[in-house]
Amino acid sequence: MKKILVVADPLEAFKIYKDTTFAMMRELQRRGHTLAACEPEHLQWQSGQPVTAQVRHVSLTGDAEAWFTTTREGREPLHSFDAVLMRKDPPFDSEFFYATHLLEQAEREGARVFNSPRALRDHPEKLALMEFAQFAPATLVTRRPEAIRAFHNEHKDIILKPLDGMGGMGIFRVGPDGMNLGSIIETLNQGGATSVMVQRYLPDIVLGDKRLLLIGGKVAPFVLARIPQGSEVRGNLAAGGKGVAQPLSDTDRAVAEAIAPTLAARGLLLVGLDMIGDKVTEINVTSPTCFQEIQQQTGFDVPAMFVDALEAALA
């Protein structure tokens, strides 16, 4: 039996019918592990002392509303837990960045943190694909408006997105007519102050923006294709996309298996690889989701696969 600390958003805000962190916690408790939770704001370091957090030990009730009870609360050192799961949702802002440094200090004191705090910092979700450019669509990252215009002139149909967005926030499509390109550049680029990612539009988005789950260096056998609805270009579930689970294709598997070992070796126990067609568009490492959607539609127990990998890492 292991003591597990989950660093996440407030438990009261969880939508447990779809929340991946909840699914992890449920499987951990089912196996006899004990659970505690805190938020990044509860982390603290003081010279001469280890990194601590104000934590609450919780027990899951099985009830849909009052889904957990708090058994005790107090300030405890992170290294007193067998594992710390960093599950704070994006955005990756300054406070998230500072939290990774506190967690890395906790690692130096003996804590085991998943995903690795250093790896979280080293793999920003949009920019991490640069290392695997052979699997990505034509992509540009720049602060120069003229470079964006030149990219549009070359590729005609493009997608623009902020580097710190989540859930489809701030994503725009500009077609061959260039309609509103100037206005979109002004909105995202803020006069050259903010970097923008631009990618060639992939028509396969109509078949879904696929979420592949890489767990412990292995790829789950099912993906969740998030399919845009109506005239929407975004497949993100938060933007109204429809999630349809489907078996991993041979191409999906080949790409995932080429990437997974590298990321796992860096301490990324769980990665959400986003693909449109045969192209990787993002590599999500902060708080990958879709466990419950895949399990509910296919019967494949993604939380069990995750906890298997976590237990193996702790063995």
Catalytic positions are 126, 161, 211, 226, 234, 274, 282, 284
- What contacts 150, CB < 8 A, 6 or more positions away? none
DSSP 205: G
Structure tokens at 111: 């804590």
SS3 90: coil
The answer to whether 196 touches 148, Cβ cutoff 8 Å, is yes
- What contacts 99, CB < 8 A, 6 or more positions away? 7, 40, 43, 86, 88, 117
Nearest CA to 96 out of 23, 12, 7 is that of 7
Nearest CA to 34 out of 82, 88, 86, 106 is that of 82
The answer to whether the Cα torsion of 277, 278, 281, 282 is positive or negative is positive
